[in-house]
Amino acid sequence: MPRIDGYLCDWEIVPDSYFYDTSMLNDTVDGHGTDIDRNDLDVRVAVGWVKDLNRLYFLYEAQDDFWDFGRFNPHGYLNDIFEIVVDGDLSGGSFILNENLLPDGSGDRSSPEYIENYTRFAGNHAQNYHIYTPPVNNAWVLVWGGQSWISQFPYSNWAYNYNFEHGESGKLTLEFWITPFNHAPSAGPEHAVESQLKENELVGISWSILDFDGDKREGHYNLAHNVLMVRHADYLCSFRLMPIEPALLPKIRAEWTYKYVDQDRRVVAFQDESIGEVIAWNWNFGDGNTSDEQHPIHTFAEPNMRTVITLEVTGLMGNSKRTRYWEVLLK
């Protein structure tokens, strides 16, 4: 799990094949296409996740010949932006403009229809983050939708590392994590539904880099090769939540979980989840009984709130034990 501190050391274990660089981007708005001058802008992005945490981790590295973050725009931004969109459950479809509320795709921003669209629809089932690079007036992000709470801890966290002033060249490093939501209401997190991230499943992600050099925007480079990605989730790229690289796993490590089959009769099913090539299992249930099955089901004779249960696994690379103390509660 990366520390969010703006430094790269935690990402050094990530293989190069997991990084996305400038060569994969396409400017489909401002006319550059794939002919991107890397002396003007050069970027590298990695995305990661941690099993059992509904978080997506990002590393963004960018070299720019003119960092634009000193201007203030009361309507939003005129600054260098790293814009990301996440659709955690691949629900797809428009997520910024609801055609039933705004059939012409625009409208008076003070109208009841526009306000309802922005507060009840925009960013609800997929989220768009306009991330300032670097921050402007200590704001790290503009969320496109009514759910600005998603940009704050404990739903996101961020850190920058850079050493330049507005208008100068240099390198910026940004690392952050965000929480994707299937339902992110503007009213707040109390009724929100987090996307459940699971190994080998797909999520929709894409990003754009908006490059400003002190005047109007000079480039709008996006990974999806279609700028509609910023408001329509059908145009996002599918990212698979990959398991940990085998080379990074321990050679052998015991691990297990359990489920109650019948709590009244104290019947418990045990599931081996050990890592590595295992050839033998030895379960000690702490009540004088053992098992050499991989996934045993055991009936305990007596109530016990202080069980101590151990699985020892053996393989060609050695052996390992995993004990759970006072976790399996027997009534």
What does the block give as tokens for 135? 């921050």
Taken in order 87, 93, 98, 103, is the CA torsion positive or negative? Answer: positive
Task: Look over the chain and give the mean of its residue pLDDT values, rounded to a whole number.
Answer: 95
Q: Determine the length of the chain.
A: 331
Task: Say how far apart CA 85 and CA 233 lie, in whole Å.
Answer: 8
pTM for this one?
0.86
**What is the residue extent of each domain of the chain?**
9-240, 249-325
Task: Say how far apart CA 288 and CA 179 lie, in whole Å.
Answer: 45
Same fold, 9-240 and 249-325: yes
Look at residue 249 and tell me whether its pLDDT is greater than 90: no
Q: What is the mean pLDDT of residues 14-37?
A: 94
Who contacts 75 (Cβ-Cβ below 8 Å, separation ≥6)? none
pLDDT at position 75:
80
Q: How confident is the model at residue 265 (pLDDT cuts 50, 70, 90)?
A: very high
Topology, domain 249-325: Immunoglobulin-like (2.60.40)
The maximal CA–CA distance of the chain, rounded, in angstroms, is 77
Q: What is the mean pLDDT of residues 48-66?
A: 96
pLDDT at position 256:
98
Q: What is the mean pLDDT of residues 85-91?
A: 97
Task: Say how far apart CA 293 and CA 17 lie, in whole Å.
Answer: 39
Single-letter residue type at 172:
L
What digits encode the pLDDT tens for the residues 292-330? 999 999 999 999 999 999 999 999 999 999 999 999 999
Q: What is the mean pLDDT of residues 54-65?
A: 97
Look at residue 106 and tell me whether its pLDDT is greater than 80: no
Task: Say how far apart CA 143 and CA 184 lie, in whole Å.
Answer: 12
Task: Say how far apart CA 193 and CA 180 lie, in whole Å.
Answer: 9
Topology, domain 9-240: Immunoglobulin-like (2.60.40)
Q: How confident is the model at residue 100 (pLDDT cuts 50, 70, 90)?
A: confident
Residue 137 backbone zone (phi > 0: left; psi -120 to 50: alpha; other: beta): left
Q: What is the mean pLDDT of residues 123-150?
A: 96
